[in-house]
């Protein structure tokens, strides 16, 4: 960890002066309430969060608790804090063990029990939990802000251009928001990025989006391949954010192959390695079934890569076959809670497994007649029943008629 210090790690202190916070809530319980003064938060990203304040009250203080949580979390952490004679409190939270997502917001407040046995609650204070280990620079255009610490001004401008081009590309089939802010953080290497995500409690490779936070993290080093990487990674992760914003809570019920397929489709450079991966897997008969890519992608790197390649090709095929409206019906169908196989039937009239074999046939040139026959089997069976039952009925009727004719003879 010492190398971080050499890079000039700073502990950023966010001073939150009480003056900017409405005071009325502090005296919510009438006379004898508490006041919180000089509340400060010092974030040492991934290590500690130190809360400090001065609690002022007209009555002696029995006990003070600090309460805090991520603004999007349900669980509130509660810590009893020691109060000095002058009302000062301080608490250091171990952020290496109990992690918050990077670039999320944390809210905290105090509860004080006074000599009158009443508990008073202070107003909540929100602060950003940012990765403060790097000397971030930033530039903004419209609602997009790019943050980076390696590379010159032109690097930041190129990143903004990539974001703009990505928005333009996805605008055809994802409603894009130009008002709600998006923050793109560009790490200069993959290990800085992975390190950050692990500090946020998540391990991942490549880019990452926290769509609910409007935050995108990518790893791109300044250099000759910077524009290609920026124009691949930024549009992909931005697509996740825009999809989340247009689908809301329905985003969570989308199959992984659909979300990743759409996001991969807006990458501005087609990945030549994807085509090769598909070719090899098709030849070796090791393609993954899309039914198995609904809940999540495989954990191992090789199959995860193949899953991205397949999803991009598959969603492109769906878009070319059923159009942008078909793609929209598909996200609506999954958003309405249809299961993976039937969501496709509901939206496109074809179950997922059958779409899968049609894709293999028309895009990868596989002979899927066997698969098609298997898919058709239930229909053939139904046809037999539909045709055979009336025939039996007819035969039976004839027999009865003959029998009656004989009886009347």
> What does the binding site for Zn ion look like in residue numbers (CB under 5 A)?
260, 263
Q: What's the Rg (C-alpha) of the chain?
A: 30
CB of 212 to Zn ion, least distance (A): 15
Q: Which is nearer to Zn ion, 104 or 312 (CB)?
A: 312
d(CA 277, CA 280): 5
Q: Which is nearer to Zn ion, 151 or 261 (CB)?
A: 261
Residue nearest to Zn ion (CB): 263
d(CA 93, CA 43): 10
- 193, 198, 204, 209 alpha-carbon torsion, rounded to 10°: -70
CB of 37 to Zn ion, least distance (A): 45
HSE-up (13 A, CA, CB side) for residue 267: 24
CB of 347 to Zn ion, least distance (A): 21
d(CA 137, CA 187): 12
Q: CA 216: distance to chain centroid?
A: 10
d(CA 2, CA 71): 32
Give the residue carrying structure tokens 């990539």.
Answer: 162
CB of 240 to Zn ion, least distance (A): 6
CB of 239 to Zn ion, least distance (A): 8
Quick check: 51 and 90 in contact, CB under 8 A? Answer: yes
Using DSSP's 3-state secondary structure scheme, residue 356 falls into helix
Q: Which is nearer to Zn ion, 110 or 251 (CB)?
A: 251
CB of 260 to Zn ion, least distance (A): 5
Q: Which is nearer to Zn ion, 312 or 368 (CB)?
A: 312
Please give the DSSP secondary-structure letter assigned to residue 405.
H
Nearest to 285 by CA among 355, 372, 371: 371
Burial (0-12, 13-18, 19+ Cβ within 10 Å), 372: middle
Q: Which is nearer to Zn ion, 81 or 263 (CB)?
A: 263
Angle at 314 between CA 313 and CA 320, to 5 degrees: 90
Q: Which is nearer to Zn ion, 54 or 236 (CB)?
A: 236
CB of 340 to Zn ion, least distance (A): 18
Q: Which is nearer to Zn ion, 16 or 167 (CB)?
A: 167
Q: CA 259: distance to chain centroid?
A: 9
Q: Which is nearer to Zn ion, 134 or 297 (CB)?
A: 297
CB of 194 to Zn ion, least distance (A): 16
């Amino acid at each position: 960890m010492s190398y971080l210090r050499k890079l000039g790690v700073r502990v950023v202190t966010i001073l939150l002066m009480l003056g900017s916070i409405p005071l009325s809530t502090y005296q919510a319980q009438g006379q004898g309430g508490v006041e919180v003064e000089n509340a400060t938060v010092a974030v040492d990203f991934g290590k500690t969060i130190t809360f400090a304040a001065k609690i002022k009250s007209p009555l002696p203080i029995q006990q003070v608790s600090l309460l805090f949580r991520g603004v999007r979390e349900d669980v509130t952490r509660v810590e009893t804090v020691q109060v000095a004679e002058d009302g000062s409190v301080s608490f250091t939270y171990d952020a290496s063990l109990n992690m918050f997502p990077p670039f999320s917001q944390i809210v905290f407040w105090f509860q004080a029990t006074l000599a009158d046995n009443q508990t008073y609650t202070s107003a909540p204070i929100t602060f950003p939990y940012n990765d403060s280990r790097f000397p971030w620079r930033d530039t903004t255009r419209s609602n997009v802000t790019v943050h980076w610490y390696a590379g010159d001004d032109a690097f930041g401008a190129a990143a903004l251009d990539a974001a703009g081009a990505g928005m333009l590309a996805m605008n055809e089939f994802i409603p894009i928001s130009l008002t709600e802010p998006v923050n793109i953080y560009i790490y200069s290497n993959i290990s800085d990025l992975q390190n950050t995500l692990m500090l946020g409690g998540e391990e991942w490779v490549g880019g990452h989006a926290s769509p609910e936070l409007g935050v995108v993290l990518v790893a791109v080093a300044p250099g000759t391949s910077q524009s290609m990487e920026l124009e691949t990674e930024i549009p992909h992760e931005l697509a996740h954010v825009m999809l989340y914003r247009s689908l809301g809570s329905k985003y969570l019920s989308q199959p992984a192959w659909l979300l990743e397929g759409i996001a991969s489709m807006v990458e501005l450079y087609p990945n030549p390695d994807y085509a090769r991966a598909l070719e090899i897997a098709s030849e070796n008969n090791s393609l993954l079934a899309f039914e198995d890519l609904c809940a999540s992608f495989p954990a191992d790197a090789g199959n995860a890569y193949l899953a991205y390649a397949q999803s991009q090709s598959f969603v492109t095929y769906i878009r070319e076959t059923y159009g942008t409206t078909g793609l929209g019906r598909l996200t609506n169908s999954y958003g309405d809670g249809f299961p993976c196989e039937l969501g496709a039937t509901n939206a496109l009239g074809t179950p997922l497994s059958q779409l899968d074999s049609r894709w293999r046939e028309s895009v990868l040139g596989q002979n899927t007649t066997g698969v098609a026959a298997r898919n058709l089997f239930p229909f053939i069976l139904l046809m037999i029943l539909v045709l055979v039952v009336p025939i039996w009925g007819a035969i039976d009727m004839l027999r009865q008629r003959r029998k009656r004719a004989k009886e009347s003879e």
